[in-house]
Amino acid sequence: MQQIWLSLLCGFCLCLVIFCRAEEGLEFPNFDGKDRVLDISERNYKKALKRYDLLCLFYHEPLPANKGLQKRFQMTELVLELTAQVLENKDIGFGMVDCQKDAKVAKKLGLEEVGSLYVFKDDRVIEFDGELSADTLVEFLLDEASERFQPYIKFFATFDKSVAKHLSLKMNEVNFYEPFMEEPAILPGRPLSEMDIVEFVNQHRRATLRKLRAENMFETWILKDVARDNTNNPELSIVWIDPDDFPLLTTYWEKTFKLDLFRPQIGVVNVTDDLPTPEELEDWIEDVLSGRVNTEDDDESDGDLEDPDGYVPVDSSESHDPDEEDDNDD
């Protein structure tokens, strides 16, 4: 009995040791101070693309003069450095592209959205719009990026006339079925090259049912498509607002636009008046800051004028009780 107890005790201690070591292995390391993120330019971007299996490029604005913005930029750079440190042995490289200084490189690589991270593998590119944190980036690059670059769309061919008839499929025709869609998108029958099929799939593929994760929670692919289609439309502006960046305005937005900012919202504001000029807007802001314009009491004063006691009258017809009338008739 004593031997059994000792063996159990030893096993328990062993489990504790293994658990502690595993827990230490799960901890995210501290930045070791070694620079791993490249400053991408026309001289080195081709070499960087050839050097790494995966190359992640952060497309950013020039270093701002404001100290607060400088600190935010440095934090972003630190996130990239820490991610590069963790993935150093995975043949994944990191670089930064300045939208002004390296505009030619950005154009050649197809970088469009400032503040986004682009992942390159061979001739393929995906854009990361998720939470820019080291742990999220590591998970994305190890799990998601590799999956997205693989051929995740299944292809089938048939030589059976009855099957083709059942699918309404003609000779040399390609039908593209999306999840949950009964009718396919059709690539007309003709001698098709690989590039024809790849281009066709890229045009028609889209997200249908997706799992919300930290790495894709900020993806706004619908709004991006609309924005690109209406780039030259002066009558339309698309604005992305993160309420966390404007905590003092949250109550105002919820009250003015009748929104629940605990949920994502998409709305349209139809501006019929001419927008103010920059000079007019600057004068108005100065008036607000100096106190000459009061933006706080307008709504309350309007309500007071309409109903000073805050009393909502009830229509006499609504309060009329027909039973009461019957009693009087009796």
* Local confidence pLDDT in tens for the 330 residues of the chain: 333 333 333 333 333 333 333 333 335 578 888 999 999 999 999 999 999 988 999 999 998 888 888 898 999 999 999 999 988 878 889 999 999 999 999 999 999 889 899 999 877 888 887 788 888 888 778 765 455 544 556 677 777 888 888 888 887 788 888 766 778 888 876 777 777 877 887 777 666 556 656 656 666 666 777 777 887 887 787 777 777 777 777 777 888 888 887 777 777 777 777 777 888 888 888 888 888 877 665 554 444 444 444 333 334 344 444 444 444 444
Sorted by sequence, the CB contacts under 8 Å of residue 299 that are 6+ apart come out as 255
Q: Please check whether residues 104 and 178 belong to one and the same domain.
A: no
Tell whether 74 and 177 lie within a shared domain.
Answer: no
Q: Are residues 144 and 56 in the same domain?
A: yes
What local confidence, expressed as pLDDT, does residue 186 receive? 85
In a domain, 184, yes or no: yes
Within-domain flag for 22: no
**178 Cβ contact partners less than 8 Å away, ≥ 6 residues apart:** 184, 185, 204, 205, 206, 208
**Residue 290 maps to a domain:** no
Predicted local distance difference test score (pLDDT) of residue 14: 33
How high is the pLDDT of residue 9? 33
Q: How many residues does the chain have?
A: 330
| Strands (DSSP E) found in the chain | 38-39, 54-60, 92-98, 117-121, 124-128, 174-176, 185-187
At which of 84, 117, 149 does a domain end? Answer: 149
Domain total for the chain?
Answer: 2
Q: Which residue's entry shows tokens 């081709």?
A: 46
Range of the domain at 198: 161-204
Name the nearest CA neighbour of 58 among 88, 109, 94: 94
* Domain contains 62: yes
89 plus 139 within the same structural domain: yes
Q: Do 178 and 141 fall within a single domain?
A: no
> Which of 204, 239, 272 delimits the end of a domain?
204
Same domain, 97 and 171: no
46/91 same-domain check: yes
Q: HSE (CB half, 13 Å, CA atoms) of 59? A: 23
92 and 132 housed in the same domain:
yes
Instruction: Please state, in angstroms and rounded to a whole number, the distance separating the CA atoms of residues 77 and 287.
Output: 38
Residues 58 and 106 in one domain: yes
Q: Look at residue 1 and tell me if it is in a domain.
A: no
Residues 167 and 73 in one domain: no
CB atoms within 10 A of CB 145: 20
Query: Is 136 part of a structural domain of the chain?
Result: yes
Phi, psi of 174, deg, nearest 5: -115, 125
Does residue 287 lie within any of the structural domains? no
- Please give the DSSP secondary-structure letter assigned to residue 230: T
Same-domain pairing of 72 and 123: yes
Q: What is the pTM of this model?
A: 0.45
Q: Is residue 58 part of a domain?
A: yes
Same domain for 144 and 174, yes or no, is no
Q: What is the pLDDT of residue 297?
A: 56
pLDDT at residue 216, rounded to an integer: 60
Q: What CATH number does the domain containing 125 carry?
A: 3.40.30.10
